[in-house]
């Protein structure tokens, strides 16, 4: 039995933790769940105790194993048999493409199914989010908002994928895993960036602007607030000590290309996460032009095009 979840791309970003031990985000966020990329997880719990194992696309993976085991424990308790976890993805892992989001959303869904327990989606989202903050949003499809409470997070869908079928073109400029994990980078930013406090303080106004833009299907407003929020997050990263710069020259070339398309009135904007890949969000009418333009840039090694999709689910009959 397999469960599947898709990555989500935040337009208003999660960056910073209010409680590191519980992995509670310091700010709310708003995202879109993709449909073209996926993580699939299969969990089997043996009768006998022993070491858990994890394979990703057929290869043994020890790096993610501790987080995977810990996540399963949150659902089953730790007095359990050894878990055999298999993961399949159709995109690069740990390269700023939200692979942990789809992986942990799928893992929580697969584990509940494996042990025959039920829970509502918010409960599952909270468990996934306690392992990787952005994973909470991949439990839901379409447009998703997450609010950072003091005790726990709340997550809910604000519009379905088909309500506003945006497209996302992902330009991969470096498929290798990133040097600093987002969790580590955001802790460093909170401790050392002089701009961190104002980042947190100003987040509610960006969330309101983005939510209103989604409600009104106002692409221009969504573009403006998303690019602004992304660049503010990267400002916190750049001004951390030591600094964290995830971009490379191809990332910048992609940004410039998006700016050129905007000058020609193409409905497109960019966002960039903790990695050098650029995500161009556009209306369907611009998808082909955006794709062709980004594919032609030196240093772009892969292009993925995607619509918006569903939340995490069990793949029936798998
Ligand atoms: C830049 O969810 O990977 O993608 O909670 O430490 O696992 P942890 O962080 P993670 O951070 C995602 C950061 C981001 C922005 C976002 O997705 O909102």
pLDDT digits (tens, 9 = 90+) for 128-146: 999 999 999 999 999 999 9
CA distance 291 to 296: 9
Write out pLDDT tens, residues 215-233.
999 999 999 999 999 999 9
How far does the centroid of ligand 1 lie from the alpha carbon of residue 294, in Å?
Answer: 25
Write out pLDDT tens, residues 9-39.
999 999 999 999 999 999 999 999 999 889 9
CA distance 270 to 9: 11
pLDDT at 92 over 70: no
- Residue 13 Cα: closest atom of ligand 1: 18
- Residue 12 Cα: closest atom of ligand 1: 18
Q: Which DSSP category does 113 fall into? A: H
Indicate the top mutation candidate among 39, 63, 274, 277 to test ligand 1's pocket, ranked by most ligand atoms within 8 A of CB: 274
How far does the centroid of ligand 1 lie from the alpha carbon of residue 279, in Å?
Answer: 15
How far does the centroid of ligand 1 lie from the alpha carbon of residue 72, in Å?
Answer: 20
What average pLDDT does the segment 290-312 reach? Answer: 96
* Torsion sign (Cα): 226, 231, 236, 240: positive
Indicate the top mutation candidate among 22, 34, 143, 182 to test ligand 1's pocket, ranked by most ligand atoms within 8 A of CB: 182
How far does the centroid of ligand 1 lie from the alpha carbon of residue 100, in Å?
Answer: 8
Indicate which residue's Cα is closest to atom 1 of ligand 1.
273
As for ligand 1, residues whose beta carbon falls within 6 Å of it are 10, 13-15, 23, 29, 98, 100, 132-134, 182-183, 273-274
Indicate which residue's Cα is closest to atom 14 of ligand 1.
273
pLDDT at 184 over 70: yes
Q: Looking at residue 95, what is its pLDDT?
A: 55
pTM: 0.96
- DSSP sequence for the chain: -EEEE--EEEEE----EEETTTTEESS-EEEEEBSSS-EEEEEEE-SS----EEEETTEE--TTHHHHHHHHHHHH-SSSPPEEEEEEESS-SSSSS-HHHHHHHHHHHHHHHHHT----HHHHHHHHHHHSGGGGGGGS-SEEEEEE-SS-EEEEEEE-GGGS--EEEEEES--SPPSS-HHHHHHHHHHH-TTHHHHHHTHHHHHHHHHHHHHTT-HHHHHHHHHHHHHHHHHHHHTSSS------HHHHHHHHHHHHHHHTT--EEEEE-SSS-EEEEE-GGGHHHHHHHHHTSTT--EEEEE-B----EEETT-
Indicate the top mutation candidate among 14, 21, 27, 138 to test ligand 1's pocket, ranked by most ligand atoms within 8 A of CB: 14
Residue of 210, 244, 213 lying closest to 228 (CA atoms):
210
Q: 3-state class of 308 per DSSP?
A: strand
How far does the centroid of ligand 1 lie from the alpha carbon of residue 50, in Å?
Answer: 31
How far does the centroid of ligand 1 lie from the alpha carbon of residue 273, in Å?
Answer: 8
What average pLDDT does the segment 271-281 reach? Answer: 95
How far does the centroid of ligand 1 lie from the alpha carbon of residue 186, in Å?
Answer: 9
Q: Looking at residue 251, what is its pLDDT?
A: 98
pLDDT at 318 over 80: no
How far does the centroid of ligand 1 lie from the alpha carbon of residue 133, in Å?
Answer: 6
pLDDT at 243 over 70: yes
* Torsion sign (Cα): 8, 143, 281, 311: positive
How far does the centroid of ligand 1 lie from the alpha carbon of residue 316, in Å?
Answer: 29
- Residue 100 Cα: closest atom of ligand 1: 3
What average pLDDT does the segment 182-205 reach? Answer: 97
């Amino acid at each position: 039995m397999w469960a599947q979840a898709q990555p989500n791309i935040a337009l208003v970003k999660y960056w910073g933790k209010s409680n590191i031990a519980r992995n509670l985000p310091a700010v709310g966020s708003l995202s879109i769940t993709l449909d073209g990329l996926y993580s699939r997880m299969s969990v089997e719990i043996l009768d006998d105790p022993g070491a858990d194992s994890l394979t990703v696309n057929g290869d043994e993976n020890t790096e993610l194993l501790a987080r995977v085991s810990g996540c399963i424990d949150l659902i089953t308790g730790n007095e359990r048999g050894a878990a055999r976890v298999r993961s399949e993805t159709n995109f690069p892992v740990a390269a700023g493409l939200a692979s942990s989001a789809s992986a942990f959303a799928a893992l929580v869904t697969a584990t509940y199914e494996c042990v025959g327990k039920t829970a509502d989606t918010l409960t599952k989202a909270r468990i996934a989010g306690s392992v990787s903050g952005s994973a909470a949003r991949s439990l839901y499809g379409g447009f998703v908002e997450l609010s950072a409470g003091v005790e726990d997070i709340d997550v809910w869908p604000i519009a379905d994928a088909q309500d506003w079928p945006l497209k996302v073109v992902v330009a991969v400029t470096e498929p290798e895993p990133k040097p600093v994990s987002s969790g580590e980078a955001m802790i460093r930013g909170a401790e050392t960036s002089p701009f961190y406090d104002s980042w947190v303080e100003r987040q509610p106004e960006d969330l309101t602007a983005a939510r209103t833009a989604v409600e009104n299907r106002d692409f221009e407003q969504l573009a403006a607030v998303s690019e602004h929020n992304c660049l503010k997050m990267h400002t916190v990263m750049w001004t951390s000590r030591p600094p964290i710069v995830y971009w490379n020259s191809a990332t910048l070339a992609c940004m410039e290309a998006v700016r050129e398309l905007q000058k020609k009135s193409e409905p497109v904007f960019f966002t960039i996460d903790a990695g050098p890949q650029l995500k161009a969000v556009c209306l369907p009418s611009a998808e082909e032009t955006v794709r062709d333009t980004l594919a032609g840039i030196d240093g772009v090694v892969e292009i993925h095009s995607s619509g918006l999709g569903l939340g995490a689910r069990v793949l029936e009959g798998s």
